[in-house]
Amino acid sequence: MALHFTVLGDPGRDNAVFVRVDSGQRVDRLLFDCGEGCLASLSVAEVQAIDHVFFSHLHMDHVSGFDSLFRVTYDRTARPNHIWGPPGTRQIIQHRFQGFLWNLHHDAASFWDVHDIYPAHVEASRYYANQAFAEAHLLRAQPRRSAIIIDTPEYSVQAFQMEHLAPSMAYLVREKPRLNIDTSKLAGLGLRPGGWLQALKTPQPGEAPTIEIEGKAYPLADLRADLLTETPGQSLAYLTDFIMNEQAQERLSSALQGCATIICESQYRQADSDLAARNYHMTAAQVAEMARRANAQRLILFHLSDRYTKAEWGDLLAEARAIFPNTAFPDGWLR
């Protein structure tokens, strides 16, 4: 398993984050927000392979690049088309679906599922290309018993509703823990690798208590205790456009505890904290304090305000590093 990310867009401009979750058997591609020009650095093939699009909220600088994605995927049937966002996402995205003239759509085969994430449930509607996306077909609402909105054998995605004078979603991607074989202990038991190792790593309902290896029966429970080691999966948080008050600090530092990488907006210097509060954004120092409390491994600052000069961006980074030393901008941003 591996989790790779790329921050899209330039400093002081619209940004997004592209994530690839590689299990070794398949690759899932996740896009967080889609500002203007953000997809320019991705190949068309990568854009066409995006599995899920997640919007923090639907302000122009986070959604204005969606047309570029939709242009190359609107009739995609090779994989499901999923969009996620705060309440109101379905209405706004349907308007974008219908912002074009559709006159050769009757034989189109695709459909798009758009999900509004509420604190206690998820509402979704399906839109068909052969109907020119004109009708919203309401799907069954799904209750939320936890922060998780997507749960696969390889990874999960959690969503947290934050406050930006309107709902704004924070997201957390976590790989599932990986089971590995301790090869030194394997040799110590006098066993050779084989297809039986996969059965050892993937318990099945109703399986026998023993497994046969080269004509000899071994207790499964004992082999698992002796040979399997669990490695935690990687994790990545995407945070942007909400107020980082004490309530948000406490909530996120708990939810993101031990997170490997936090990618977070950095709109304001600490001297402008009053302005940050009025606009329901956050300062670099507030972000760094949250990362410190969460015991994160690293913090990446993005979505920088163009109110500051390039030199002042460096000062902003220094303010964060004074609290959380392992803080950086995306590669190449201050060159």
Residue type, 211: I
Residue 268 has pLDDT above 90, yes or no: yes
Residue 33 has pLDDT above 90, yes or no: yes
pLDDT in tens, 65-95: 999 999 999 999 999 999 999 999 999 999 9
222 annotated active-site: no
Query: Where are the chain's structural domains?
Result: 1-177, 180-220, 243-335
The pTM score is 0.90
CA-CA distance, 145 to 241, in Å (whole number)? 25
- What Cα–Cα distance (Å) separates residue 153 from each residue in 113, 117, 259? 21, 22, 19
pLDDT in tens, 206-230: 888 888 888 888 888 888 888 888 7
Question: What per-residue confidence (pLDDT) applies to 102?
Answer: 95
pLDDT band at 1 (very low <50, low <70, confident <90, very high): low
Instruction: Evaluate whether the domain defined by 243-335 bears CATH number 3.30.420.40.
Output: no
Residue 52 pairs in a beta bridge with: 30, 82
- CATH fold of the domain at 1-177: Metallo-beta-lactamase; Chain A (3.60.15)
For CA atoms 326, 23, 82, 255, the dihedral sign is negative
Q: How many CB atoms lie within 10 A of CB 287?
A: 28
pLDDT in tens, 101-149: 999 999 999 999 999 999 999 999 999 999 999 999 999 999 999 999 9
pLDDT in tens, 185-212: 888 888 888 888 888 878 888 888 888 8
Question: What per-residue confidence (pLDDT) applies to 70?
Answer: 97
Note whether 1-177 and 243-335 share their fold: yes
Cβ-based burial of 282 (10 A; exposed 0-12, middle 13-18, buried ≥19)? buried
DSSP string, 38-52: GGGGS-HHHHHT--E
Q: How many CB atoms lie within 10 A of CB 296?
A: 24
CA-CA distance, 46 to 67, in Å (whole number)? 16
- Percent of the chain topping pLDDT 70: 100
* Residue tagged active-site, from 14, 33, 61, 272: 61
